[in-house]
Amino acid sequence: MGCDIHLFVEIIEGDYVSALADGQFRVSRNYELFRALAGIRAEPGFAPLIEPRGLPEIMSRSVFGTYYQPILDEKTAVEWRAGDWVTPDEAKRYEHRVSPSRGQGWIPSEIGYVPYPDWHTPSWLTRSEVHRCLEAGGLRLPTYDFELEVVLEAMAFLELHNPKISTRVVFWFDN
């Protein structure tokens, strides 16, 4: 079974966090890259330079709404025309739940939210941390991964042209 990465670029300005383009960036399935960023598919004993951190405490609505599913009763799900959602009974099988007060998803839930069941190892890194992880993993840009190079260049451009902001990649994996 393959493993893919889900990657967003977030822009942070003070307490406000937004996602660049409000969507995921396509980064190729590359286990050397996944190993360098988060230890995914690594040989026993390997530890990434920066251990996976989980999701950031404050994240964009795009990241929250993509990573988590709302817990809804059927009537509310129909009213909101919710695509993916879980019932309160289904949510009991999830170890990790997020309270409604933390909810930043597109669909409000008074009960809470749960991550998609096949998604794992969420983390986030700044642009310089990504470069350091790649270097520690023996990987080099610009020739290593074109899609990731575009993402990192976009982050550099944003930070250069607006010194009030910072950027980070937020990512997780699926099976």
SS3 69: strand
Give tens-digit pLDDT for 2-11.
899 999 999 9
pTM of the model: 0.89
pLDDT of the residue at 7: 96
Least confident interval from 112-121, 137-146, 164-173: 137-146
Q: What is the separation of C-alpha 136 from the centre of its chain, rounded to a whole number of angstroms?
A: 22
Give tens-digit pLDDT for 49-66.
999 999 998 999 899 888
Give tens-digit pLDDT for 83-137.
788 888 888 887 676 766 555 656 677 778 888 888 999 999 999 999 999 999 8
| b/e code 48-76 from CB counts within 10 Å (16+ = b) | bebebeebbeebbebbbbbbbbbbbeeeb
pLDDT of the residue at 92: 85
Residues 144-159, mean pLDDT to the nearest whole number: 90
